Amino acid sequence: QKEVEQDPGPLSVPEGAIVSLNCTYSNSAFQYFMWYRQYSRKGPELLMYTYSSGNKEDGRFTAQVDKSSKYISLFIRDSQPSDSATYLCAMSAGRGSTLGRLYFGRGTQLTVWP
């Protein structure tokens, strides 16, 4: 069993829909939880990060972490065609500056159609 599980999709939604992406994990030591976005033929870029449990909102994006269930989510409101990409969850057991290696989910491919 991989340490981070993520449904690869693909997920296809109409413009304006609310998108829900999620990951589960098995390592209780994970402290930082990240969402990366990867466009085709590009490197991943950080979208949001959360430390420990809780919610974090940034514009149309909301990240949620439930450490008791080992479950994290990313919600995208009012989705746009430009949101079409692969979304990868990532986690780290490091503390702050010693973030160290990241453990990635396989990524969920999202398409938002006009």
Partner 1 sequence: DSGVTQTPKHLITATGQRVTLRCSPRSGDLSVYWYQQSLDQGLQFLIQYYNGEERAKGNILERFSAQQFPDLHSELNLSSLELGDSALYFCASSVVGGRDFTEAFFGQGTRLTVV
43 near partner 1, rule: CB under 8 A: yes
Q: Is 41 left (phi over 0), alpha (psi -120 to 50) or beta?
A: left
Nearer to partner 1, 76 or 104 (CB): 104
42 near partner 1, rule: CB under 8 A: yes
State the minimum distance, in angstroms, from the CB of residue 31 to partner 1. Answer: 10
Give CA–CA dist 39/41, Å, rounded: 6
Give CA–CA dist 87/15, Å, rounded: 17
Nearer to partner 1, 4 or 112 (CB): 4
Nearer to partner 1, 51 or 71 (CB): 51
107 near partner 1, rule: CB under 8 A: yes
- Residue 34 neighbours by CB distance under 10 Å: 21
Among 94, 111, 103, 39, smallest CA distance to 72 is for 103
State the minimum distance, in angstroms, from the CB of residue 84 to partner 1. Answer: 19
Task: Please name the amino acid found at residue 91.
Answer: M
Site mask for partner 1 (CB under 8 A), range 44-73, x = bound:
xxx--x-x----------------------
Task: Please name the amino acid found at residue 69.
Answer: S
- What is the contact surface with partner 1 in residues (CB under 8 A)? 32, 41-46, 49, 51, 88, 90, 96-107
